[in-house]
Amino acid sequence: MSRNKPTNRSQRIADQIQRDLGALIPREVRDARVGLVTISAVEVSPDYAHAKVFFTVIGGEPEVAARGLNSAAGHLHHLLFKRLAIHTVPRLHFVHDTSVEEGFQLDRLIERAVADRPAEGVEPEHPNE
């Protein structure tokens, strides 16, 4: 099995952590730096000791939100420990997910390329003579 491919169990744990953090953060984190965050993915290490939590933020600075989330990571870890029925609850490390912004940039590039391309079936204004 590939070292990078998550096992079925680690994927289920990552999915459960994602759901639980999505519910806990708006209710439990009172840090003004955090703002409106969405948990987009969770990657759990093979030994279940660490979890990389990817997030997006609306209307705020990602670096500031990451500092706020990482400062609340201990409290969130404690709350997860109460909710999850597993022996080892991973330590949380919050990382800004840039894939959404990258997707928007690609969309803009595609739209610009399509707009610059002449329409099919339309003759150029000055055909070569």
Each residue's pLDDT tens digit, 75-97: 999 999 999 888 889 999 999 99
**What is the token pair recorded at 72?**
């609340």
Q: Is residue 121 part of a domain?
A: no
Q: Is residue 2 part of a domain?
A: no
Rounded to the nearest 5 percent, the helix, strand and coil shares of the chain are 45, 20, 35
Higher pLDDT, 35 or 67: 67
pLDDT at 104: 82
Q: Is residue 46 part of a domain?
A: yes
Beta strands per DSSP E along the chain = 36-44, 50-58, 91-96
Q: Is residue 94 part of a domain?
A: yes
Number of domains present in the structure of the chain: 1
What CATH number is attached to the domain comprising 36?
3.30.300.20
Q: Is residue 1 part of a domain?
A: no
DSSP H helices in 29-98: 62-71, 73-83
- Distance, in Å, from the CA atom of 35 to the CA atom of 75, rounded to the nearest integer, reads 17
- Distance, in Å, from the CA atom of 95 to the CA atom of 127, rounded to the nearest integer, reads 54
Residue 55 has pLDDT above 80, yes or no: yes
Each residue's pLDDT tens digit, 5-21: 668 888 999 999 999 99
Q: Which domain holds residue 95?
A: 8-116
Higher pLDDT, 64 or 35: 64
Position 2 confidence tier, pLDDT thresholds 50, 70, 90? very low
Q: Is residue 125 part of a domain?
A: no
Each residue's pLDDT tens digit, 118-128: 766 556 566 56
Q: Is residue 122 part of a domain?
A: no
Contacts 24+ apart (CB under 8 A), 16-22: 16/84, 17/42, 17/44, 17/51, 17/53, 17/80, 17/84, 17/90, 18/42, 18/53, 20/79, 20/80, 20/83, 20/84, 21/53, 21/76, 21/80, 21/92
